[in-house]
Amino acid sequence: MHSITEAPFITEITRICTNMYSLGWDERNAGNISVLLDEEEITPYLDKDRILRTVPTGFKVPSLAGKYFLCTAAGKYFKNTQYDAALNLGIFRILEDGETAGILWGYSDGGQFTSELPAHLMSHVSRLSVDQKNRVILHCHPLNLIAMTYVHSLDEREFSRTLWKMETECVFVFPDGVRVIPWMVCGTNKIGEATAEKMKLSRIVVWPHHGIYGAGRSIDDAFGLVETVEKAAAVYLKIAHLPVKQTLTDENLHMLEKRFNVKTPEGWLEP
């Protein structure tokens, strides 16, 4: 059996936690990441039948029974993951009942997965329903995006149109636009359900005055999405108070759609 700390998925999530902390997106215990793992990925490192303990998730997701997840721990700091992966991360399988996590590794102080597990697992179900290759759900608190939710309309069409016009590649990176839920108390099944509903339509969901959810086929994929949205939000905040002399037009965005063979939601590129 190889040491799990050498597993590529542990190295990768650890690096991204450090990176996201350095970007200022994950102060204190902010942020959480979950990665759907294949059984073949974990068996070189773990005995899949050796469940260390079980923890109720507090909600039922029958379609995820038998699936393995790598997930950041509740209350832990992203900046510390690099120093103690087994404390700050964990791996579990959703057991046959669809509502209990069988912990196989990590959460070494007796802790458990993120308090945002409902939003994560329900979002995995949503994304898998539209993309079988989706593996990652990632949440964080990017500065500019949060700031933007105070001064820009939260209408998701308007929010997406503004972001697309802040940098030429945006419409290619996230042609589905961003979806926005109303402000809600975090860590609840309710916000999980609202997020997951939006995840059927887009890989990015904005939580006003809180942060963002990104989904992807890999950690890089989900991270790159959030990175692009955050950059666009930063440009917006740099110019929002200035007289704009020119901008990307709807016609320009249509040209990009054609060039990159992507499709924005119907009617979102009309004035």
**Catalytic center residues:** 116
Place of tokens 């079988």: 132
Tell me which stretch binds ligand 2HA (CB under 6 A): 91-99, 108-116, 125-133, 198-206.
108-116
32 contacts ligand 2HA (rule: CB under 6 A): yes
State the minimum distance, in angstroms, from the CB of residue 32 to ligand 2HA: 5
Nearer to ligand 2HA, 130 or 143 (CB): 143
How many whole angstroms separate alpha carbon 178 and alpha carbon 159? 7
Q: Does 184 bind ligand 2HA (CB under 6 A)?
A: no
Per-residue string for binding with Zn ion, 185-214, x by CB under 5 A? Answer: --------------------------x---
Of 192 and 211, nearer to Zn ion (C-beta) is: 211
Regarding 216 and contact with Zn ion (CB under 5 A), the answer is no
CB of 216 to ligand 2HA, least distance (A): 18
Asked if 177 and 170 count as a contact pair (C-beta separation under 8 A), the reply is no
Q: Residues binding ligand 2HA: what is the number (CB under 6 A)?
A: 9
The position carrying tokens 């593996």 is 135
Residue type, 132: Q
The answer to whether residue 31 forms part of the interface with ligand 2HA (CB under 6 A) is yes
Query: Least CB distance from residue 268 to ligand 2HA, whole Å?
Result: 28
3-state DSSP assignment of residue 87: helix
142 is an interface residue for Zn ion by CB under 5 A:
no
Burial bucket for residue 177 (CB in 10 Å: 0-12, 13-18, 19+): buried
DSSP-derived 3-state class of residue 74: coil
Q: If you ran DSSP here, which 8-state letter would residue 24 be given?
A: T
Shorter beta-carbon distance to ligand 2HA: residue 31 or 216: 31
Residue 14 binds which entry of ligand 2HA, Zn ion, none, CB below 5-8 Å type-dependent: none
Which of these ranges, 26-34, 97-105, 197-205, 250-258, lies near ligand 2HA under the rule CB under 6 A? 26-34
H-only helix segments in the chain: 8-22, 39-42, 85-88, 117-130, 143-151, 156-164, 170-173, 189-199, 219-239, 250-260
Q: How far apart are the first and last CA of the chain?
A: 59
Instruction: Please report whether residue 186 would count as binding ligand 2HA according to CB under 6 A.
Output: yes
